[in-house]
Structures are given as structure tokens and as C-alpha cells.
Amino acid sequence: MLLRRADVNPNTADICGQTLLSLAAAHGCEAVVKVLLERNDGNLNTVDEDGQTPLSRAARRGHEGVVRILLERNDVNPNTVCELGETPLFSASYEGHEGVVRVLLGRNDVNLSTADKHGRTPLFIASWNGHARVVKMLLEGNDVNPNTANEYGRTPLLMAAWEGHEGVVRALLKRSDVNPNPVSVCGETPLFRAAYEGHEGVVKVLLERNDVNLSAVDKYGRTPLFGAVCKGHVKVVKMLLERVDVDPNIANEFGQTPLFRATREGHEGIVKTLLERVDVNSDMADLTGETALSQALKRGHYAIIKLLSERKNFIPLLGCDRASTLSSPKPPDLDQRPFKRIRRF
């Protein structure tokens, strides 16, 4: 067999910098890996042009058998970092390879908190990708910081909420040291992202807690309620409004309230839901002086005009004649030609 010949150099690399061991590990060829390891002249931690070692390649591909074989050697470094800052544990967590993660966590010298060049830890990447079982395995480590944020200030909980991974969110919140209100550099919280994306299950989980900030605003002044209203998520809006401690009148940077924005976007169901709250101020104007009613009139949202007119503070503004026509509003006939006055000379 060629691999057993003394004149065969096992460290010869191809144009991508991959040696025989790297290729065998990447493709899960356990028998070839064993033969190569029997030789004492092979470099077990050699890196290819991507900075990947044989162990990294095997971990990324999910080859649990190869990972076990390599880690039996004391001269294999389990914490090698590639050019992107990824470790074997990071790669396995990214792909959700539970078996490989379990093998790596079985060692005492594997660093669980090494972050890549974007500040993402193995727990972060597993949470983002929704690998709930891997997340639970990583959280069993007492030296894992569940609040480590990436370069944008986003934590594992925030990313799991953003993507709607309810199981991951529940797993993270079981840790008493998880911050339920992390704020990104854009001012986003887990509740805001879940509400904005319409992830009802995640919103429900977060609302079950008493320590979640319901009125936190992002850098644009948007609350979770405002975000849900903007995207038209009626169920999420209803869930948020069931909490009496949710302020429905917080305006964004332009002075627009959730009611104003719902009216502007024509979300009739949301407008109706908002108006069921007696503390909703339907008269609030934005920075330009526009109100919900003026927006409805300008955009021709006739059903919403009727809803707003039923609030007593709008009826006097319309006048008796105008108010009486709102009982059965009809849109203008767009096919009717406008009257053209002919000038006679």
C-alpha cells in the first residue's frame, strides 16, 4: 500500500493546501485516516489555504468517527482557529452536528467561548441556525457565557428570537443568567425582533416573563408594538395589547404612533384592535401635524375613516354633513371623467 511506503511524503499538499490527511478527514475516510496516523511523520495540525485543519474539516462535515480518531492523539489541537476565526466546535455547531459537538465537549481542553472574527461564538451560531439540541448541550457548560454578543451587539437570544426558533428561545431562557432584554447597536431587543417578524410563538414565550421590557425602543423610536403594526401582524398586536403595561401611544422618531402607522398602511384589522384600547390617543399628530384621520382621508382608507369617526373626538372635527356620509362611505368613481369647462371666445 502506497501510504505505508517510506518514500511517500504524507505532508504533500495540493494547490489548495490540503494534505492526504486533510482530504481523508474531509471525506470521512476513517480507514485512511488511521493508516496516516500510524506514521510518525505526518503533520496533524497542518492548515490549508482556508486555515482549516484535518480536524476542522471533519467537524464541519459531521464525520464523528474521524473526529474521535483524531482526538485520540495528544498532538492534535482541538482549538485551532481558521482565517475566519472558526474553531472545530464552531463549525460543528454551525452545521448542527450533534455527535461531533458531543465528542468535542467530552474533552476538558476545548474552548467553548472562542468567537470568530464577527464575534460569534458556537452558542451564538447554533442559536441563530435553530439547532436546539446543540444549544442545550452547549448551555450545560458552566463556563459558557450566554450573553456574548457579536459585532452588532446581538446575543444568541436576540438571534433566536429574530429567526423564530421558539425551542432555542425556551432553552436559553431557562438559564438564570440570560439577559432577556439585550439591546443591539440598533436598539433592537428580542421582543422587538420577534414582534417585527411576526413570530407569535416566540412573542408568547417572552410575554410569559415579567422581566421583559415591553416598551423598549430602537434607534428609530420603534417599540415592539410599533414593529408588529408596521408589518401587519394582527395576532402579535393583539398579544401585546393584552398586556396593560404596554403603552400604545409611544411614537417613533417622526412622531408617528402605532395607530397613525396602521392607518397609513391601511391595516384595518389592526386599527380596530388598537381602538379597542380606551387609552389609545387617536388625536396625536406626527411632526408634520398629520393625524390618523388626515392620513386615512388622504389615502382613501374609507373603512378606517369610519372606525376613527366612531371615536367621539373625531366626529366634531368632520362636521355634521361630513360625519353623516361616513355611515356608508363609497370610494370615488375612478372611471368617471372630470367635468371640463369649455371657454368660449
For the chain, give the secondary structure using H, E and C. Answer: CHHHCCCCCCCCCCCCCCCHHHHHHHCCCHHHHHHHHHCCCCCCCCCCCCCCCHHHHHHHHCCHHHHHHHHCCCCCCCCCCCCCCCCHHHHHHHHCCHHHHHHHHCCCCCCCCCCCCCCCCHHHHHHHCCCHHHHHHHHCCCCCCCCCCCCCCCCHHHHHHHHCCHHHHHHHHCCCCCCCCCCCCCCCCHHHHHHHHCCHHHHHHHHCCCCCCCCCCCCCCCCHHHHHHHHCCHHHHHHHHCCCCCCCCCCCCCCCCHHHHHHHHCCHHHHHHHHCCCCCCCCCCCCCCCCHHHHHHHHCCHHHHHHHHCCCCCHHHHCHHHHHHHHCCCCCCCCCCCCCCCCCC
CATH classification of 1-83 is 3.30.360.10, yes or no? no
Q: How high is the pLDDT of residue 186?
A: 96
| Residue 185 and residue 220 in contact, taking contact as beta carbons nearer than 8 Å | no
Q: How high is the pLDDT of residue 311?
A: 79
Q: How high is the pLDDT of residue 4?
A: 54
Q: How high is the pLDDT of residue 6?
A: 54
Which cell is 168 given?
432555542
Residue ranges covered by each domain of the chain: 1-83
Q: How high is the pLDDT of residue 13?
A: 54
Q: How high is the pLDDT of residue 341?
A: 46
Q: How high is the pLDDT of residue 42?
A: 62
Mean pLDDT by 10 residues, the chain (345 residues): 50 65 91 83 75 92 96 92 91 97 95 95 98 97 92 98 98 97 97 98 97 96 98 98 96 98 97 96 96 95 94 49 42 44 43
